[in-house]
Amino acid sequence: MRFDVITLFPELIETYCSSSIIGRAQKQDLIAVNPINPRDFTSDKHRTVDDTPYGGGAGMVLMCDPIFQAVESVERQENSELIMLTPQGEIYNHETAKELSKKDQLILICGHYEGFDERIREGLKPREISIGDYVLTGGELGALAIIDSVTRLLPGTLGKDESAIHDSFFSGLLEHPHYTRPPEYREMKVPDVLLSGNHKEIDKYRRKQSIKRTYERRSDLFKIFEKSGLSKEDKIILKELGYLQEK
Ligand code: ADE
């Protein structure tokens, strides 16, 4: 999987992507991250990439030509997607991450300043993605959120102990709580069942905690889970939790 990131701040992308699991994935050639700076496609002394908006108003607008040229400099693979990071885009989530992880190449356009010249949208027709209903100073955090969440879904990226299967959202439920040594800390105890060595009971406890957390924190996800064709075991757990009325 290749990520080409159009950004005025390539060092932000490089720094993040050289650490931890993403850094390791790069070293293992599972992914390649290639930042491209639109300033490299300017011809004036100041390497200008933005200008004041026509019609007046605050802030600066990213100009067409450096962005078009930066995008056009990327060698497009067949199975690729062009994405613009913008607060006006569709909201990013786990489903989108799964979908994007099937691509061979993502080209991510990061904005900065007030916004993009509208003809960048019109001419390049990128898919527009937002990472949440708030405005960032630039698209880099969005691009990194995509690179990170997509990379960890690629086979071979996570060690077997880090498997994505148990992640929150993978199964449509939030993840169960985790504990490690010591068994008691400041009078807070690890639940006995986790120390019992009884794996059937441990699995049941974790499933129950997952369901409970989802019910308490994310009623939107819980509603989808409830309608998803519950297993016999899940129905028993729901009854125990009092979330399912006995008929
Ligand atoms: N650029 C500025 N705000 C953003 C957001 N919320 N998501 C993606 N890109 C952005």
Per-residue model confidence (pLDDT) at position 32? 98
CA distances from residue 183 to 113, 129, 191 in whole angstroms, order as listed: 50, 43, 9
Compute how many other C-beta atoms are within 10 angstroms of the C-beta atom of residue 32.
13
* 246 occurs within a structural domain: no
Q: Is 87 annotated in the active site?
A: yes
In terms of C-beta distances under 8 Å and separation of at least 24 residues, what long-range contacts does 22-29 make, across chains too? 22/147, 22/148, 22/151, 24/157, 25/151, 25/154, 25/157, 28/156
User: How confident is the model over 85-136, as pLDDT tens digits?
Assistant: 999 999 999 999 999 999 999 999 999 878 999 999 999 999 999 999 999 9
Task: Tell how many helices (H) and how many strands (E) occur in the chain.
Answer: 10, 10
Q: Are residues 148 and 195 in the same domain?
A: no
Structural domain count of the chain = 2
Percent of the chain predicted with pLDDT > 70: 98
* 176 occurs within a structural domain: no
Q: Are residues 17 and 107 in the same domain?
A: yes
Instruction: Say if ligand 1 is within 6 A of residue 130 CB.
Output: yes
* 223 occurs within a structural domain: yes
Instruction: Say if ligand 1 is within 6 A of residue 108 CB.
Output: no
Q: Are residues 84 and 14 in the same domain?
A: yes
User: How confident is the model over 156-201, as pLDDT tens digits?
Assistant: 999 876 777 777 787 899 999 999 999 999 999 999 999 999 999 9
Q: Residue 231 is part of which domain span?
A: 184-241
Per-residue model confidence (pLDDT) at position 188? 98
Question: How many Å lie between the centroid of ligand 1 and the Cα of residue 90?
Answer: 11
Which residues 6+ apart lie within 8 Å of 77 measured at CB?
Answer: 2, 104, 105
Q: Are residues 133 and 220 in the same domain?
A: no
* 10 occurs within a structural domain: yes
* 112 occurs within a structural domain: yes
Structure tokens at 160: 């077997």
* 127 occurs within a structural domain: yes
Q: Is 167 annotated in the active site?
A: yes
Q: Are residues 146 and 189 in the same domain?
A: no
Instruction: Say if ligand 1 is within 6 A of residue 142 CB.
Output: yes
Domain of 12, CATH number, reads 3.40.1280.10
User: Domain boundary at 152, 167, 202, which?
Assistant: 152
